[in-house]
Structure 1
C-alpha cells in the first residue's frame, strides 16, 4: 500500500533539485546511484525522506548518456590526434600541458574564492584519491616525459613546421569547442531543473518512484531496518510490567493497535500551530512494516503480500499484535525542514509480550546535500556564479578528461554489458539470499560539510520534543486504562535526563548536608569509580 499523503510532497523540494543537479555535477555520485539502486531491479527500494527519487533518476540517466557521448567523442579525437601524421604531436602535447596548467590555476582560484576552509580541504583531498589521483599520475608522467623529450632537442626546427602546428592548434580548438558544447548542454539541463521540467520516466524509474513510498520496507539483512533514513542520533528501549494501579485489581488489557493510534493522534496535533506554540515543520506520520530481505521470497510493498512468504498477515494491525515473527511494525514520525535539506525521522515500536509492554524509540538524521550541488537559489532559480564556475571547472579539466576518455569509454561499455545482464535476470528472485534494499538515493547524497549550525541542532531539538510528547502520550494512555505508571514515570525521568550519563571522564561529588552521590563511567575508554557518601 502506498502512503498517498506523501506522494509528490517532496517532488519539487530544494533537496530533490540539488540531487537532480548532482547528476550533471558529480560523476561519482551519479554512478553510485545508478549502479547501486537503478540497476538492481531484483532488490527492494529504500525510502527517500525529504526527496523524490523519480526525477533524480531521470536526470541521472540523461547525464550518463551525455557523459558517454562526451567520452566516446574525446576518445575518438585522441585516437585521431595520435594517428594523423599531419598533426604535430609536440605542439599538441605542449598545448595540453599549458591548458592543464591554466586549468589548475582556475580550479585553485575557484576553490579559494567559493569555499570554506573545510570545503577546500575536501576538494583537494578528492583530487588526490581514487580514480582522479590515478589519472593525474598517468597524465603527470606523460607530461614529464614530453617535456624531457622537448628539452633534449638541440634545436627548435620542429616549430617551423607550419602545417603541423596549424593542425595541432586546430585540434586543440576542436577540443575546446567540445568542452564548451558539452558544458552548455549540462547548463541547459540545469536550467530545465530550475524550471521544474522533468525528463520522461522509464518503467524502471516509475516503479522506483512508487516503491520508495511503500508501506512495507524490505531491508537488507546487512543493514539496519531503517535503510534510507541516514545517521542514528539516539536509541533507547525499556520493558514495563503491566500491572493494575489498584492493589489486587485485575490486570489491565492493553491493545497495541489502540495504543499506537493514541500516540499517533497526539503527535499529529503538533503539525499545526497552537495559541502558544509553533508547529513542527513538515511533520508526516505513518505506519510502516519492516522485514529483512532474507525473511521473504521477494520485495514486499503491501502487508497482504507477506502471505506469499508464509506470514499470516492481511494488514498492519495483524503485524502490530504479533511481535513474535521477523516482521515488525513501527510508527514513523518524519519531520522535513530546510526545504528537504534536513530530515529527522523518529521510529516507535510497541509490543505486548511476556506480561510486559516493550517500548523502543530511535531517531535518525539525514544531513544536507553537499554544497557543490547547491546551484539553485531559495526561489528555485539558478545561481549564475555557481553555473559559471561549474562550466569553467569542466572546461579547465578537459585535458584530464581527454586522457581518461579511452579508459572511461571501455568502463562504460563494460558497465552497460553488466547492467544488461543484471536487468535481464532481475525478474528471477527465487535464487536470491537477500532481496532487501541496501541504500537510498537521498541517503547517498549526504554532504560532509556542516552548512548551518542550527541545522544539526534542529534535529536534536525535534528528537527531544517528540521523545517527550511520545512518553507523555504513553503515560496518559496507560493511566486511562488503569495501569500503574510509577515505574514508567521513573524511566521517563531517566530518559529525559539521560544527558547526565557519562561516556568518558567524569568527576562528581556530594554537596550539602545529608547529600548523596552515585557516579560512574559507561562505555569504552571510560574511567571512574562508583562511590557513595553522606555528609
Structure 2
C-alpha cells in the first residue's frame, strides 16, 4: 500500500479518474463565505510578516538566514496555510464553526499560482541577465543585502553612515571594473557586467508590478467579503500517476472530512476550542424516586434522555407566533476531550470505534452512558447557532449524568465572537505629493507603484528559489500559526462589545434550557419517576435563567 493509499483511507475518499473531472471551486457550498474570504484575503496581501501578530500575538515569525529572501505577509501566510492544512502528517485541526476552511485553502492555492506564474517569468529574466552576468548580479545583490542589514527588512533608511558606506563600495567596484587591465571581448563583458542587471531589474519590476496589481484586486474584493470563487486545477489529476494532484485532492477531501468531526476539546479557561469561552451555566439535580409507592421506576439510560432532548431541539425554530425567531440550529452529539489551556496540539479519534475523524454512534452512546465520572472523554449534546454571517457562533452544550440516585442536567453557554478587524483591511496604495506642472504653486497626490526598487530586487532574488520551497523556508523565514490551530477561533474576538450580539447570546439561554428540561421530564414521566421535586427545581431554575449575565464561568473565582 502506497502513501497515497494511506491518505485516501484516512480521508475516506477514493480515486475517481474519469473524463470531465470537476475542478474544485471555492464557495460552492453556498453560505457563510464572506468571513472565510476575509481570512483568505491575507494570502494576497503585501507588507511585513510581523503583521500576522496583530490579530493574535501567539503567531510566530521565524527569521531566515538572509533578509533579502524573506517573504512578505501574503507569501508567508500562503505557505503557512498550505503546510499546516494540507501537508502529509500534519497535526489535527480544530473545527472552524461559522467558516469554510476549504475556501481559505483554495484561495491560498490560487494566490500561490499567481505568484508562481510571476516567478516563472522572473526566473527566465534571472537566467538570461543573471547567469550571463553573474558577477554583476552578485555585486548588486550583495549591496542590497548590506543595505537591508543596515536598515532592516522594512522601508527604513539605512542612515547617513550606512548610505555613505554603500555608495563608497559601489564606486570602488565600478572603478575596479573600468580600470581592469583587460581588453577586447572581456573588457566589453566587464563594462556590461554592472548595467545588465539594471536592465534585468527594470524588466522584473514591470512583471512584478502587473502581478502586484492583480493581487491587490483580489485582496480588495475578498477583504470586503465579496469576490468570486476560485478554481483549483492543481487538484485534478491528469492521469492515474499524477501523484502531486492526487495528494492535493486527498488533502482537500481530508480537510472537509475533519471539519465534520464529532470530537472537540476543552482547554481550561479558553473554553471549548472552536466554540469560545463558557459564559454561563445552569443545572438541575434531583433524586430519582418512583412515582408509585411499592413500584420501582422503569430502567432507562442517560442516552435516552440526551437523545430525547436532541430530538426536541430540532423544533426550536417553530413557535406559536410568526416573529422570525430562531434560525435552524445544528444539533450534534459531541465527544468532548480535556486538553488543558496550554496544549500545543490535539489528537484525532482513535481506537476500533473511530471511523475516520469521527467516533461511531455506538461509541458516542457508550460514552454518554458510562463515562460520567473520573478519567475519559465526556458526552455533550450541542445546539449551535451561526449568526451574523458567521461572525457570531452561539453553542449551548447539554450534558446528562446519573450518579447513584441523582439525575443531573446541565446546560452551558459558549460564545465565539467576530473576526478581528485586521482581516477587513483593504489595500492602501502609497501616495506622495508632487508639483502640478505647469501650475507649480499647486500640489497633487499621485499613487506610487506597488513595487519599488527594493521589492523588485527581493522578488527577483526569491524567484528561482520558489521551486525549492523547503530550502527557501530556511533561507527566508516562515510564519508559525498559533496552536492548536483552527481558522475561526484563532482570530476571533470577544462578542461582548457588540450590543446586538450580546442580546442574541443572552436570549438563547432561556428557551434552550426550557426545551431541554421539558424533553427530559417527558422521559422521566414515561418511566415512572416522581416529578414533584423536579418540577419545583425547574420553577426556580426557570426564574433564574430569565436574567442571565455573561461571566467567566471557567475561572471559578479562584
1:221-252 Cα distance to aligned partner (Å, 9 max, x none): 89978332234433455543323466777456
Aligned twin of 1:213: 260
The question of whether the paired residues in 2 share the 8 Å contact of 1:50 and 1:336 is answered with yes
- Root mean square deviation of aligned Cα: 5.6
Quick one: structure 1 residues 468 and 142, their matched pair in 2 at CA, closer, same or farther if it must change by over 3 Å?
farther
Candidates 229, 241, 247, aligned match of 1:196: 229
TM-score (normalised: structure 1)? 0.60
Distance 2:34 2:385 in 1: 15
Quick one: structure 1 residues 29 and 164, their matched pair in 2 at CA, closer, same or farther if it must change by over 3 Å?
closer
Quick one: structure 1 residues 24 and 56, their matched pair in 2 at CA, closer, same or farther if it must change by over 3 Å?
same
Q: Shift of the alpha carbon at 1:476?
A: 5.7
5+ residue gaps, structure 1: 101-132, 376-385, 419-436, 504-521, 525-535
Candidates 111, 131, 135, aligned match of 2:153: 135
Matches within 5 A, 1:25-174: 25=45, 27=74, 29-39=77-87, 41=89, 43-64=91-112, 66=114, 73=122, 85=136, 135-136=153-154, 140=156, 142=158, 144-149=160-165, 170=199, 173-174=202-203
Quick one: structure 1 residues 259 and 54, their matched pair in 2 at CA, closer, same or farther if it must change by over 3 Å?
same
Question: What secondary structure does 2:102 align onto?
Answer: helix
Distance 2:496 2:161 in 1: 43
Question: What secondary structure does 2:156 align onto?
Answer: helix
Q: Shift of the alpha carbon at 1:140?
A: 3.3
Tell me, yes or no, if structure 1 residue 482 matches structure 2 residue 551: no
Distance 2:522 2:212 in 1: 61
Question: What secondary structure does 1:347 align onto?
Answer: strand
Distance 2:309 2:430 in 1: 48
The question of whether the paired residues in 1 share the 8 Å contact of 2:110 and 2:230 is answered with no
Aligned twin of 2:55: none
The question of whether the paired residues in 2 share the 8 Å contact of 1:87 and 1:164 is answered with no
Aligned twin of 1:454: 500
Q: Shift of the alpha carbon at 1:316?
A: 3.1
1:270-291 Cα distance to aligned partner (Å, 9 max, x none): 2346524323125211222234
Distance 1:44 1:322 in 2: 27
Matches within 5 A, 1:367-516: 367-374=417-424, 386=426, 395=450, 399=454, 402=457, 412-414=469-471, 438-446=484-492, 453-474=499-520, 478=524, 481-483=529-531, 484-485=533-534, 486-497=536-547, 499=549
Quick one: structure 1 residues 401 and 246, their matched pair in 2 at CA, closer, same or farther if it must change by over 3 Å?
farther
5+ residue gaps, structure 2: 1-9, 12-26, 46-72, 179-190, 236-247, 341-345, 432-446, 476-482
Q: Shift of the alpha carbon at 1:474?
A: 4.1
Candidates 350, 358, 364, aligned match of 2:400: 350
Quick one: structure 1 residues 37 and 304, their matched pair in 2 at CA, closer, same or farther if it must change by over 3 Å?
same
Q: Shift of the alpha carbon at 1:472?
A: 4.9
Aligned twin of 1:530: none
Aligned twin of 1:337: 387
Number of residue equivalences: 426
Distance 1:223 1:10 in 2: 34
Q: Shift of the alpha carbon at 1:335?
A: 0.7
Aligned twin of 2:14: none
The question of whether the paired residues in 2 share the 8 Å contact of 1:267 and 1:469 is answered with yes
